[in-house]
Amino acid sequence: MVHPPTPVVILLAGLSLTTTAARLQYSVPSRVPRDATPLDCTPVGVSMEFFMWPSYMTNITPPMQCISRFTDIYGEKMPIRIGGTTQDRATYDPSFDGYVSYTVASPLDAPDTLTYGPRFWDLINVYEGETMLGFNRGDNNQTNTYLAVVEAKERALNHLWAVELGNEPDVYLWQNKSDAVSPWNASQEGADAADWAQGFIDVWQSPLPILTAGSYAVAYDDNPEWPNTDYLINTAYNDTVKAAVRVYVGHLYAAPPGNNTLATEMNHAKTVSDLAVFADRVATAASVNRSFILGETNFHPYDVDMDATFGAALQTLDKSLHAVTLGIKRLFFHQGTINQALFNWWSDNQINAPFYGGYFAALALGGGDHIVELDSGNSSYAQYVIYRQGRPTKAVLLNTDYYSGSGERSNASITLDGLLSSKVKALRMTAASTDVTTNGIGTYPTIGGQYFSNVDCSSMGALRYESTTVSSGEVTLTIAASEALLVYL
């Protein structure tokens, strides 16, 4: 829920056309407002593309090294999801002794079909964190999928947080998946999803609830025929199936950017607009006492260069904070084919720029129990306040204006009042420009002056907190275009 704001916004034209300085003032409620949104204690997680799961675990080092940085923040393992398009191409072979088997023309391709064996799930026990595990529904072989389900339960139940039957079933017809029969609208898909869920319940038995429901690719609000979780809850699912569902799930990518620039795509108002459709989905899930999550998300659905930039890190941060403010419990940032998907947080030997945004979001939300957003969601500037045990503990001030790296860098000057402390300290996330990637030699975003080591994901360089005096309960902080400030109140 977005906290009702009373901002004073003055836009001052600067000396050149590109220079403006925004001044905003917000009051920080000194006690947690009644409409503040409760926070999960591990809100930011990652989704790993199904066929890549063994590679993320065993072939490259950055993911697990960087996830341990989240563990330090959360005090527990980051939740993960194993799934994606290739879960609906996977055949379970109980006698196969490896993790996965497939053939591709290039290591940057995803396989059209793959086989996996029981050892695939042993890696979940190695990971030891809450895992949302995907199974194949798209190929329409319930025998094979339920065989796999029973064996996964046998091997990895202790870490299975949720079970997903099918990835993005709303686009099965378009993908020519055999499970989808035209017309593949909300009623066809809903009945099929319920049938699969009931079949699962019959073989799984307990513990319940454990299923996810939805996992839809597209959250069109204007097409009543399109499958959506509201339809599952209100129409397709009976009480038995609803009782077995642990969590309702949507996926979110920004529409392909076309000619849109990074400046447009990363803007706070755009992020708010992209997430808006989920407010109703969260409410419908809550009406049956269930949470709603983004089971798979990242910047764009098709690779575009901007997805690897520092601007993507800012979008990752803003999306995480605004999503949890809407009541979305968790977000799983998708990691696709290694060295191929531009939004990936890691390559085989490198920490990528978007990771900085995910890490900063965890730093902001970790330890918090409620959040409010102070802004109205219609400008480039976002302000969030995180509460713990009734008191404001942190604020995030975000300036999503673009900066090319040359010329004067605009800034926003934000005054927070109602503060009780005598001074605040802050960590700044910044980069030389919005377009910075970690692909160049020695170019990095920084958080408190530090960057992540490609060797072990440790923080390199001296950590620098900024300290600002509070006078009469007020502090004024400046956030340049494409910067974020985490303020410890």
Q: Which residues bind ligand NAG (CB under 6 A)?
A: 14, 19, 21, 141, 143-144, 147, 175-176, 183, 185-188, 194-195, 198, 225, 238, 240-241, 258-259, 289, 376, 378-379, 408, 411, 478, 480
- If the CB atoms of residues 122 and 225 are measured against ligand NAG, the closer one turns out to be 225
- If the CB atoms of residues 378 and 469 are measured against ligand NAG, the closer one turns out to be 378
Which residue has the closest beta carbon to ligand NAG?
Answer: 258
CB of 187 to ligand NAG, least distance (A): 4
Q: 159 is written with which tokens?
A: 């870490």
Contact 120, 134 (CB under 8 A): no
* CA distance linking residue 364 with residue 483, whole number of Å: 14
- If the CB atoms of residues 69 and 330 are measured against ligand NAG, the closer one turns out to be 330
CB of 255 to ligand NAG, least distance (A): 10
CB of 102 to ligand NAG, least distance (A): 17
Contact 99, 129 (CB under 8 A): no
- If the CB atoms of residues 46 and 293 are measured against ligand NAG, the closer one turns out to be 293
* CA distance linking residue 30 with residue 304, whole number of Å: 42
* CA distance linking residue 41 with residue 26, whole number of Å: 26
CB of 328 to ligand NAG, least distance (A): 16
* CA distance linking residue 257 with residue 334, whole number of Å: 18
- If the CB atoms of residues 80 and 285 are measured against ligand NAG, the closer one turns out to be 285
CB of 199 to ligand NAG, least distance (A): 8
- If the CB atoms of residues 186 and 487 are measured against ligand NAG, the closer one turns out to be 186
* Residue with tokens 């099965």, as numbered in its chain: 172
- If the CB atoms of residues 73 and 147 are measured against ligand NAG, the closer one turns out to be 147
The set of residues, in sequence order, having a beta carbon less than 8 Å from that of 484 and lying 6+ positions away, is: 314, 317, 360, 396, 397, 398, 399, 428, 429, 430
- If the CB atoms of residues 106 and 289 are measured against ligand NAG, the closer one turns out to be 289
CB of 476 to ligand NAG, least distance (A): 10
- If the CB atoms of residues 379 and 437 are measured against ligand NAG, the closer one turns out to be 379
CB of 348 to ligand NAG, least distance (A): 28
- If the CB atoms of residues 289 and 422 are measured against ligand NAG, the closer one turns out to be 289
CB of 304 to ligand NAG, least distance (A): 12
- If the CB atoms of residues 194 and 282 are measured against ligand NAG, the closer one turns out to be 194
CB of 376 to ligand NAG, least distance (A): 4
Please provide the size of the chain in residues: 489
- If the CB atoms of residues 277 and 288 are measured against ligand NAG, the closer one turns out to be 288
